[in-house]
């Protein structure tokens, strides 16, 4: 019995599948579809960027209902429904031929993406793990990185062989298969399998503290336990983090395509970012478990800043610069997906965690929504994506500086 794989790792694998679909396909890999959709259907840069806007609008709206959604359905059923919505979005994309139809599909994909997010994955990992919790989170989040690594080349080949509609239908089938697997694997708590959280025997008293008292405090009471300046720094950091997260992901392939790279090379570079991102997410989890969230986030944050500087030089088509973009962006992008969960756990621990997680997720999604059209608008105005990635470099700088301030304030509070 002791040699059996802990069931929590299977739940982690199911969360990996969910994020492969939501963040991986709905957000990251969809950028591969954007240039051919724009060319085949005669859309402008601003119109194709508006798909990202609509997706982010409905992803943002999902954050307002996500807590009640999962409370009502439970994590297992809620995750299954969320992935199914993503599959339906790709089916709708496959039937689209005019701009309004694509807008409806983008809206549907955003709502599914918003529900099938790190929020349910973080709650599950918080329940199933005491030991290796950050590593488990890293594995969950690696689903989007794996999608970014393997799907661009596959999607490019599918579009070339079956057209845009055929590629969407094939990937929709994959999504529905993963949806079924999520349903059969996920269990809401270790107790559903007659188990306890990994590490419970050694640190059970800590786990019980995290579960909170029987009488639950209101969100206002939980928030009041922490100084206002801590909330300001944390929310500011996550706001700018959100502003560059999804818009940055979604326009990387468009940046490379606009710089004059062929479709095959664009897919190769995006896959390279995905490979580095996947490995970096696993490393991120291990580093958080060993050196802590503060040092880890500083390392990854400054690498993301450097990566955005290199993105401004993408039009030079220099091999060394392209390699630097792949490495720095692949590593740095980890904090845009895992950062808010680790930050919520570090800065607002215990029973305040779910409330803080939702608030940080909400502000991140909100700024992602506001800035989602900015890349296309700036590209139409200036004729390139250099101003966009220069702006993202500034946002990254603000993200890292305010995050550092939040951790320092938290240290003083806990002394």
Domain CATH number, residue 216: 1.20.1250.20
Return the structure tokens found at 393. Answer: 């470099």
CA distance 382 to 392: 16
Could you read off the pLDDT tens digit of each residue along the chain, which spans 415 residues?
456 788 999 999 999 999 999 988 998 788 889 889 988 888 887 788 788 888 878 988 998 898 889 989 999 999 999 999 999 999 999 999 899 999 999 999 999 999 998 889 988 988 898 888 888 888 898 888 788 778 888 998 999 999 999 999 999 999 999 999 999 999 999 998 888 888 777 655 544 544 444 556 666 666 677 888 988 998 899 888 888 877 777 778 788 888 888 877 887 888 788 788 888 888 988 898 889 889 999 999 999 999 999 999 988 888 888 889 889 998 998 888 777 788 888 888 777 777 888 888 888 878 877 787 788 788 888 888 889 899 999 999 999 999 999 999 988 876 6
The reported pLDDT for the residue numbered 215 is 56
Residues 6 or more apart whose CB falls under 8 angstroms from that of 47 comprise 38, 99, 376
pLDDT at residue 209 in the model: 46
Task: Give the pair of three-digit tokens for residue 229.
Answer: 């300046």
H helices of 312-352, in order, are 319-332, 334-347
In a domain, 197, yes or no: no
Distance CA 124, CA 118 (A): 10
Residue 398 is predicted with a pLDDT of 95
Does residue 239 fall inside a structural domain? yes
Q: CA gyration radius for the chain?
A: 20
Does residue 281 belong to any structural domain of this protein? yes
Query: CA–CA separation, 55 vs 48, rounded Å?
Result: 11
Q: What is the rounded distance in angstroms from the CA atom of residue 323 to the CA atom of residue 302?
A: 17
Q: Name 198's bridge partners.
A: 129
84 found inside a domain: yes
Res 138: pLDDT? 86
In a domain, 193, yes or no: no
- pLDDT given for residue 185 in this prediction: 96
> What are the counts of helices (DSSP H) followed by strands (DSSP E) for the chain?
17, 0
d(CA 155, CA 102): 18
Note whether residue 116 is domain-resident.
yes
Q: Quick one: angle between helices 118-128 and 133-185, nearest 10?
A: 110
Cβ contact 308:214 at 8 Å? no
Angle, nearest 10°, between helix axes 30-41 and 99-115?
170
List 129's β-bridge partners, or say none: 198
Residue 194 domain-assigned? Answer: no
Q: Which two structure tokens, joined as six digits, stand for 43?
A: 């859309």
Q: What's residue 210's pLDDT?
A: 46
Q: How many domains does the chain have?
A: 1
- The pTM (predicted TM-score) of the whole model is 0.76
Q: Rounded to the nearest 5°, which phi and psi values hold at 129?
A: -130, 135
Structure-block tokens of residue 283: 């490393």
Distance CA 400, CA 356 (A): 19
Confirm whether 136 is domain-assigned: yes
Q: Which helix (H) or strand (E) holds 186?
A: none
Domain that holds residue 410: 7-188+202-414
């Amino acid at each position: 019995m002791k040699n059996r794989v802990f069931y929590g790792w299977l739940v982690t694998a199911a969360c990996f599948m969910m994020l492969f679909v939501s963040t991986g396909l709905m957000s990251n890999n969809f950028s591969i579809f954007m240039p051919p959709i724009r060319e085949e259907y005669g859309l402008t840069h601003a119109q194709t960027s508006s798909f990202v806007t609509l997706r982010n609008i409905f992803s943002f709206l999902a954050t307002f209902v996500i807590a009640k959604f999962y409370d009502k359905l439970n994590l297992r059923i809620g995750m299954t429904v969320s992935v199914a919505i993503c599959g339906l979005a790709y089916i709708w994309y496959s039937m689209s031929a005019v701009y309004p139809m694509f807008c409806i599909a983008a809206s549907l994909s955003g709502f599914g993406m918003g529900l099938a997010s790190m929020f349910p994955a973080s709650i599950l990992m918080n329940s199933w793990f005491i030991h290796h919790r950050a590593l488990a989170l890293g594995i969950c989040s690696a689903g989007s990185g794996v999608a970014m690594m393997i799907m661009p080349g596959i999607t490019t080949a599918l579009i070339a062989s079956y057209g845009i509609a055929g590629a969407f239908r094939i990937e929709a089938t994959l999504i529905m298969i993963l949806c079924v697997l999520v349903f059969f694997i996920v269990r809401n708590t270790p107790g559903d399998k007659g188990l306890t959280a990994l590490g419970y025997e050694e640190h059970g008293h800590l786990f019980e503290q995290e579960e909170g008292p029987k009488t639950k405090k209101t969100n206002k009471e939980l928030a009041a336990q922490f100084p206002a300046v801590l909330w300001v720094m944390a929310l500011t950091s996550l706001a700018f983090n959100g502003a560059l997260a999804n818009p940055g992901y979604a326009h990387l392939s468009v940046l490379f395509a606009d710089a004059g790279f062929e479709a095959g090379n664009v897919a190769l570079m995006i896959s390279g970012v995905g490979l580095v991102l996947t490995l970096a997410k696993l490393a991120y989890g291990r580093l958080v478990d060993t050196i802590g969230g503060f040092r880890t986030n500083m390392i990854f944050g400054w690498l993301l800043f450097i990566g955005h500087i290199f993105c401004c030089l993408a039009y030079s088509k220099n091999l060394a610069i392209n390699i630097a973009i792949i490495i720095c962006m692949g590593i740095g992008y980890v904090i845009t997906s895992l950062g808010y969960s680790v930050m919520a756990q570090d800065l607002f621990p215990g029973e305040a965690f779910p409330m803080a997680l939702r608030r940080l997720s909400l502000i991140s999604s909100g700024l992602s929504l506001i800035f989602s059209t900015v890349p296309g608008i700036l590209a139409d105005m200036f004729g390139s994506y250099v101003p966009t990635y220069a702006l993202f470099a500034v946002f990254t700088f603000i993200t890292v500086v305010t995050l550092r301030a939040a951790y320092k304030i938290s240290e003083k509070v806990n002394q």
